Structure 1
Amino acid sequence: MRRVLVAGITGAGKTTMARRLAQATGLPFHQLDELAFLSGWRERPEYLADVVRLSESEAWIFDSWGDRRVRDRLWSCADTVVWLDFSFTLVTRRLLWRSLLRTTRREQIFNGNVETAREWFGRDHPLWSAWAEYRPRRAEMRRRLADPAHAHLHLIRLPSPKAADRWLKAVTPSA
């Protein structure tokens, strides 16, 4: 396990898991959204080049399977996919709570970006995104994992936060 994608629907806890996994293994962690966006949710011009460069490195953990422009590259370079395959109810509850806290506290997410009350009504808000993408994303995950082009991947499917915690406790540092 040297090149790891932590995948799942918005709100499953990908970034938290990826950080904890990086701490447990010593592998470098890269937050994909932080690479993608400047303040004001503007795309970083270096985003694609940075993902290509980092994906070519010897070891890494990304907290996403990536947007359409980088997804195939990350999947072809990864050796492991950690899939946080949590229930719709759990993800919805987590997202609602997380977004409420972030909005009311004006909590910075990364690069100075914050969630605002106005964003709650946009299609790009994490809650609406998760509701719209839950079934299609799970279907896409299954399709990708069944694709012979991804036969090289080691899949770790974690169906609950308890399963994720148990698995993470058993992870050892990378050599």
Structure 2
Amino acid sequence: MLGPWDALEPPPRRVLVAGTTGVGKTTTAGRIGRALGVPHTEIDGLFHGPDWEPRASFEDDVERYTAGPAWVTEWQYSQVRALLTERADTLVWLDLPVPIAMWRLVRRTVRRRVGRTELWNGNVEPSMWTIFTNRDHIIRWGIRTRRKMRAMVPALEHAAPHLRIVRLKSQTEIDAFVERLRPPGTAE
């Protein structure tokens, strides 16, 4: 497993960003895409249709998107994880401490709810009361799955030997890694 300062030769072209819910996968994936000059598509936007219903075209959309020569997306959704893993050349694992991940998740969820931020296909975060009534409320989901990646990602070293795995354990490491991807003389 690589760290933030290890060389990546050749440069990544098909990148997955893994981590627990709310840790910053989408933000980091967007930054990586900009640094490399490759497209980033938020996989949640492909999955969620109106009223939070899964889109029937999700798997076909992921198939098409990842058929391209260069892309960045998040490593999510069990029905496409194998395809994503097979097609990627690099997986960036955001393995931040659980308290930081949970703080980011709560802060993001509250900010989105208060601001009524539209996410994908007209969806907005539900009422904060649903944390008590919905087992799959994003915060409850984050708590329940907070250690999931610590089992899944290391197993890829053997299951997907073609995949370079970069483990980043702090925001400082994330920032340094993204900066190293950028061609000399360019800025974010």
TM-score, length basis structure 1: 0.92
> Is it true that 1:39 corresponds to 2:50 in the alignment?
yes
| CA distance in structure 2 between the partners assigned to 1:139 and 1:66 by the alignment | 14
RMSD of equivalent CA atoms: 1.3
Question: What amino acid sits opposite 1:159 in the alignment?
Answer: K
Give the aligned partner of residue 106 of structure 1: 116
Structure 1 range deviating more: 113-122 or 35-44: 113-122
Q: 2:17 matched to 1:10? A: no
Q: Structure 2 CA distance, aligned partners of 1:125 and 1:111?
A: 19
Q: Secondary structure at the match of 1:69?
A: helix
User: In structure 2, what is the Cα distance between the partners aligned to 1:135 and 1:22?
Assistant: 26
Question: Partner amino acid for 1:3?
Answer: R
Question: What TM-score do you get using the length of structure 2 for normalisation?
Answer: 0.86
The 3-state SS of whatever aligns with 1:45 is coil
Question: For the residues of structure 1 that align with 2:13 and 2:81, how far apart are their CA atoms?
Answer: 18
Return the alpha-carbon distance in structure 2 between the equivalents of residues 61 and 93 of structure 1.
25
In structure 2, the gaps of 5 or more residues are: 1-11, 184-188
Q: Is 1:126 aligned to 2:138, yes or no?
A: yes
Contact 1:106 1:116 in 2 (8 A): no
> Can you list the C-alpha shifts for 1:24-83, whole angstroms capped at 9, x where unaligned?
111111110100111210111111111111122111101x21211100110011000011
Matched, 1:115 2:125: yes
SS state at 2:82 partner = helix
Aligned residues: 170
**SS of structure 2 residue aligned to 1:82:** strand
Supply the distance in 2 between the matched residues of 1:65 and 1:35 (Cα, whole angstroms): 13
Q: Which amino acid aligns with 2:58?
A: Y
C-alpha deviation, 1:136, in angstroms? 2.6
What is the alpha-carbon distance in structure 2 between the residues aligned to residue 4 and residue 126 of structure 1?
25
The equivalent of 2:161 in structure 1 is: 151
Q: What amino acid is aligned across from residue 95 of structure 1 in structure 2? A: L
Q: Secondary structure at the match of 2:30?
A: helix
Structure showing the higher helix proportion among its residues: 1
More strand by share: 1
